Amino acid sequence: MRVHDGMAILTGSTTLPAHPRHGVQAALISKRLEDAHASDAELAVITTTPGTQSQANGMKFGFELIDARAILVFGRLLGEVR
């Protein structure tokens, strides 16, 4: 998590595939929000892939969807030459 100018950015969290649905991500979000509050952040931001469990977890904590973005991939980066 980073805090800058009153904004907390909750970045880089994931749950290992072997440990889904044990509340790990919820615990991380909760702790990061506590730390953000202790750092005097007035706003907290997370980014997730739309429609994922990560988005659902964030929304359970009161985060709201403000933008859905397309992810574009260039073919050669996938090993394809066009």
Domain tally, the chain: 1
Containing structural domain, residue 67? 2-78
Which band of pLDDT confidence, cut at 50, 70 and 90, is reported for residue 57?
Answer: very high
In this prediction the pTM is 0.76
pLDDT tens digits, 17-54:
888 889 999 999 999 999 999 999 999 999 888 888 88
Mean pLDDT of the chain: 87
Separation CA 4–CA 8 (nearest Å)? 7
Look at residues 23, 27, 1, 24 and name the one whose alpha carbon lies nearest to residue 12: 1
